[in-house]
A = this chain, B = another copy of it.
Amino acid sequence: MITEAAILNVRYGMEQEFENSFRRASKIISSMSGYLSHELQRCIEVRGKYLLLVKWEQLEDHIIGFRQSEEYQEWRELLHHFYEPFPTVEHFETVPNLTGGD
Chain B residues, Cβ within 8 Å of A50: 92
Q: In the bound complex, what is the Cα–Cα distance between A100 and B52 (angstroms)?
A: 12
Assuming the A-B contacts A101-B38, A101-B55, A102-B36, are A49 and B90 also in contact, with contact meaning beta carbons closer than 8 angstroms in the complex?
yes
The 8 Å CB contact of A42, one of B19, B46, B53, B95, is B95
Taking a contact as CB atoms under 8 Å apart, the answer to whether A102 and B26 are in contact is no
Taking a contact as CB atoms under 8 Å apart, the answer to whether A92 and B42 are in contact is yes
The 8 Å CB contact of A91, one of B19, B37, B45, is B45
Q: In the bound complex, what is the Cα–Cα distance between A43 and B5 (angstroms)?
A: 10
Taking a contact as CB atoms under 8 Å apart, the answer to whether B90 and A45 are in contact is yes
22 A–B pairs (Cβ distance < 8 Å), ordered by A: A5-B51, A19-B95, A23-B98, A26-B98, A30-B100, A30-B101, A36-B101, A37-B101, A37-B102, A38-B100, A39-B94, A40-B95, A40-B98, A41-B92, A41-B94, A41-B98, A42-B94, A42-B95, A43-B92, A44-B90, A44-B93, A46-B90
